[in-house]
Structure 1
């Protein structure tokens, strides 16, 4: 094991609106402070009572899925927290992932596709404060 599932991320046109919808369905806290990410107009989160975190990411030119239409498939990605981004990068490539966007130098995440082309991110875990 090299990673922990941090959240499931849904693309959408309005992150806060979708977070509020899922809060109505599941309960929990919208945009609860969390050391793993920052919040802005393009990103919202829901921390459900079960411990599940769902994130909502604004997508430019969002085209909603039309299930079961294969021309407009379901849309989401997974974020995996890793302690060592470079090491995890090498490991997922050796298992068949492909790089979609390594990002800018110093960025805390990289984007890949799994062997079936589903996108996922490796995200550098922030160190926990001790004390």
Structure 2
């Protein structure tokens, strides 16, 4: 049985609206939002999101010194139950201080960040 459902793929970038516009032209869809977070609502119901990253440095491929910069948002009905499950699978908490938010941040076993998001 699966623990979560993929909510959105989120790309860090210096200008979320501009990058969302680029991908809207490439993939279609509707750009929604302003400021530090912009969603691209894709045909078929998926979302590609763009998050402002101060001091953003673009990745170089392939280059271990400049890794890829993105994270996954995983929608879950119960944050506590999902947290328990991902920790048992080898995830590590990255942001355990604020338990009042509707999301929690973890690293997968290879160190890539992802969020569990209350749906």
TM > 0.5 between the two?
yes
8 Å CA contact retained: 1:103, 1:109: no
Aligned length: 118
1:74 paired residue among 57, 60, 68: 68
The answer for the alignment partner of 2:85 in structure 1 is 91
After the TM superposition, which of the residue ranges 46-55 and 2-11 deviates more from structure 2?
46-55
8 Å CA contact retained: 1:65, 1:74: yes
The answer for the alignment partner of 1:115 in structure 2 is 109
Q: Distance in 1 between matches of 2:59 and 2:48?
A: 18
The answer for the alignment partner of 1:17 in structure 2 is 18
8 Å CA contact retained: 2:17, 2:34: no
8 Å CA contact retained: 1:103, 1:110: no
1:105 paired residue among 99, 106, 110: 99
* 1:37-52 equivalent positions in 2, closer than 5 A: 39-52=33-46
Over 2 Å off, 4+ runs: none
Q: Cα RMSD (Å) of the superposition? A: 1.2
Structure 1 residue runs without a partner (length 5+): 32-38, 126-131
Q: Distance in 2 between matches of 1:10 and 1:19?
A: 10
8 Å CA contact retained: 2:90, 2:109: yes
